[in-house]
A and B are shown apart, each in its own frame.
Chain A
Amino acid sequence: MVEYNARWDEFEDKIKATEEMERNTKDEVETLIILTRYPMFTDSMKKYMDWRDKALNNALPILKIESTSITGSAQKDKWDDYFEKIGQEAHQMILGFVPDDDKTPLLRLFVEGTATLESIFFAKLKSVPLAWFQGQVQVYTYEFYTEMNSLEEKWKKLLSADQLGDSKVKDTSAKVLQIFKDTVNELVTQERAGETALLKSISAAKRTPGIPLEVNAALTAVQVMLMKAQQLQKSIDDLVRIYMDAYKSEETVVILFDQTRSGVHEFLNKTNFDTASDEFEETCKNSIDIAKQCKTKGQTEDAVKFVEKAIPLVKNLFDEFKTQYEEFVNDNRGIFVGPIGDKEIEDLLERRDMDYAWRDISAFNIQQKLKDVHNDTVRAWHVDINGLIDEQKKEIEDFWRVELERLGRGLRLVAEGSTWNRTKQIFTTNRKQLESRISSSKGGLQ
């Protein structure tokens, strides 16, 4: 019993009807030919039906081929080649079932027509798009598999590039803070050294009127403090440059991240579960529709049966695609798919560390510290000068006026300089912009 047997019923009926007609047109002798030829032909057609069954089922393994290098068009070519081959074989086989003579012309016409109809049957099945989709869905699966790994690599690369910048910023911030502290300590030391030197010099002048005032040590303290202020300025400049570089690097990372999210957005717009699912449904529907276009009812039934048997094989691969697709989406959710998660923003921008770094720096309040140092110096260095001769009083007052003023100017320059503002901008406004760009970037399925 053949599996695709609807066509056989038609054959049986048609052969009988043709034999009957042929018999009515022939004399006794010719009837003998009919009596032998028709049963032989019927047997041959039974063999053809067995062959046809196998030929159809042998097409199904094409739909089971799995490979990472498969394509829809390559699968379609395989399918086409196969059905062209069996179509031609069927045609030739059927034509050969009756001898080349005119002894049974109606059977001859039936054979020619049947050969053509069976060839058309296979040509119809050739145009069923299941093999193409079977290849195409594997392309999708492999694409999602490779892109999943690729995105993982990209995410790692972005994080490592960012961490490089972030650690630079953290190191730099720690160094800045240390320089601030060291500088302030040094300034305080110098302020005290100057105060001590002034007290010492003035008390000696008071004890021994007329001996010259010794302000060199205080002068040196001012010099050292100014030098320290300049060094601080230079360090800040150098460090700001590092901040700027780190910021540029971070900005690049953000652009690349944004680009990748946008790439995933476009990628998933083109191919996603819904589109693939629609495509699969459309393929199944078209395949059935094509099967229904066969020339005879029997062929149609057999073709539909064949397509219905073939569809689950393709569905298996579609299900694999679904699994891969879901894995892709889940793996990338919060990073490249859907809105970006807080953790991912944190991983990328390390806001907490940056906030801490900035908080430490701003909490240290170097401007105020420098002002305090200046104020302390002014206050501490204004030691009691009563008991000094007028000339020495004037000398010390001039010293205060000139040197403390010079010191004040030097420290203010550092405390209120533009580099400081730039640092502040990087840590606040610019980083906010990056954060905002990340948060507003459109990822996959958004």
Chain B
Amino acid sequence: MSNNGNSSLAEFTKILDETDVKTWIKTDAVTDSFVQNGFRVTWIDWDSDFRNSDLQIEDVIIGYDDVSFEQFLEPGKHGSAIGQHGETTYWQKLGGIKHSHTITLKVFREGKKEILEIPGKLLAQRFYTDSTEDTKRALGPGGPPSMARDDFSGSWSGWYENLVKKMSSILDGGLDHKSINNKKELQEHKEHKKRIDFLQEKYPGPFADVILSDWKKVYDNLFGKEIDKIDLEYREIGAKRIETVKQEAQTAWDNIHAELKDEMITAFPTVNIDDRDSVAGKIVELPWITTRNIINDLGKTFAAIGNRTKGFYFIQLSDSAYVRKFYDTMYRYQAQVSPKLTERYQYLAKITDEPALITKDRKAITGLMAKIVAARAGSDGEFFVDLRNADTTNDGDDEIQFAGQEKVNQFAPIKVKDDASPQEVIEAMIEAVKLGHEEAWKNLFATWRAHLYWENHVAFDPSYVPRGSFPGAWEQSRRLISDRVYDVRVDKINTARRILQKDDEFGFPDIDEVDVFVDHYELSENGKYRTFLDVNVRRKWTLQRLDEGPWRITTVQRI
């Protein structure tokens, strides 16, 4: 018989033994934490009095009143602690404790500096029926009957047990610690809604209300966060920014030709070097060159452009202020527009009155020295810089702009201070991935390894360098950020813990560790950006520092 709403709920509730009490909380023992051991709350039963308190899933209970749970943390002694299978026996052994006895839990909560004190009542086991005739055992006062199905595929008790198990696993750090596909989980979770709606309709009451509330909480958790806008300028690195800059580069290239047309001569064949005076000061457009044109001669680097038949021009690349400016500007282009720039170069160069003798392919060749006036680079000449106004008296204080620089928004350089927080380090890592700065990204990883190898024993290996893992993680990260992942943001940071104490005799430094959790955003069907989680992305990032030095990421992994 369903509760029609007129009967008192107490009519459907019976207590058989007033001393058969417990908290109606479920916990897992935590014995290997460097922050706080205790009993982590994994679930609070719907009819636990602690539902009315501030107690939360994932809180770590370290004791109650004046009692510490340290004794229960020893191996084989967990069973009598709060939330464990033998909890009732514990309270009974104490004697004199009855239904509604109030205790105050001592609770450690991530992110709180102080230990929380949370009062609540121990309650005896309650038996619910779906009718006053006490005919059928129910999950809550007034129903649903435990063994009934109401046209659903399984009994209410079986369904509820599975639902609680699932909800507990999600709310108990499921997203942080387990390999979860939130979309798949959400889909499965939604399938319960029909039964929950039925429950609301047919068996209204506190049980149905709590289930709905729990269901919503899990739903929100799995649904994720939504935001309307993300700064996607970084995505412009690559095709779009290159296209913008390339057009500007072509225009600038054409313009400089027009401006210099009176000074320009055909580059090849070159005049005999004895007649260099006749061409000194003239400008030539040299053909495209690659790194194969670059040669070393007596410790200096030159670009040798031309051939034995038509003659050579030489451009000194080392110890040249012009060339330094050129490369400075090119590196800026790679940081702001695209890290990929094919090593192809073309110069407009001014012929000097200086002949040169250089050895190329083991043969001494002569040619005319020239100085770069302007240059372009890349597979399509997408980078162009005019060096005519470059101040070559200093080593780079002035900033020469590449063509189109003013048309693209500037990214701030990635700089991580030694005292950067874990959040700042992770944000720099994300930024490096977005901007394609592999070296900056690499530098954020630890060059040591300190890990729990057995229980709470930490092994510190200062020889460890994660070199081999870098290429794959970098490629995958870049692929993700250019495709499905629109943004990665720090969600939360756990309390830092000291996992190893300094010991000079054994060479141990102080090692601190912290976990940072990030959210990955993808574009959802409604045009908004929503967090998601699956095996392709990494939510948890562990960082360590040695002797309070810079925080570094311990595991090389994709974003």
Contacts and interface: CB of A to CB of B under 8 A. Distances in A.
Interface string B439-457: 0000000000000011101
A267 interface: yes
Interface string B445-482: 00000000111011111111101000000000000000
B357 A91 contact: no
A116 B464 contact: no
Interface string B488-527: 0000000000000001011110000000000000000000
B357 A158 contact: yes
Interface string A76-91: 0000110110111011
Contacts of A84: 463-465, 467
Contact of A267 (B276, B299, B503): B299
Contacts of B463: 83-84, 86-88, 90-91, 119-120, 122-123, 126
B274 interface: yes
* A interface majority secondary structure: helix
A257 to B, nearest CB: 8
A263 B298 contact: yes
A95 B356 contact: no
Nearest to A150: B359
A95 to B, nearest CB: 6
B407 interface: no
B507 A113 contact: yes
B535 interface: no
A100 interface: yes
B506 A248 contact: no
A419 interface: no
B468 to A, nearest CB: 10
Contacts of B507: 113, 116-117, 120, 295
A256 interface: yes
A95 B274 contact: no
Contacts of A295: 507
A275 interface: no
A255 B298 contact: no
A154 B362 CA distance: 10
A108 B462 CA distance: 19
A143 B356 contact: no
Contacts of B464: 84, 87-88, 91, 119
A252 B462 contact: no
Contacts of B274: 245, 248-249, 251-252
A252 B355 CA distance: 7
Nearest to A263: B298
**Residue of B298, B300, B453 with most partner-chain A CB within 10 A:** B298
- CB-CB nearest 7 A-B residue pairs: A87-B463, A113-B506, A150-B359, A157-B364, A100-B454, A263-B298, A153-B364
Interface of A: 80-81, 83-84, 86-88, 90-92, 95, 100, 108-109, 112-117, 119-120, 122-123, 126, 143, 147, 149-150, 153-154, 156-158, 161, 245, 248-249, 251-252, 255-256, 259-260, 263-264, 266-267, 270-271, 295
21 contacts: A80-B465, A84-B463, A87-B461, A87-B463, A88-B463, A92-B461, A100-B454, A100-B457, A116-B460, A116-B462, A117-B506, A119-B460, A150-B364, A153-B363, A249-B274, A252-B355, A260-B357, A263-B297, A263-B298, A266-B298, A267-B298
Given A87-B463, A115-B461, 18 more contacts: A83-B463, A86-B463, A92-B461, A112-B459, A116-B461, A116-B506, A119-B461, A119-B464, A150-B362, A153-B362, A153-B364, A154-B357, A154-B364, A156-B364, A255-B355, A263-B300, A266-B298, A267-B298
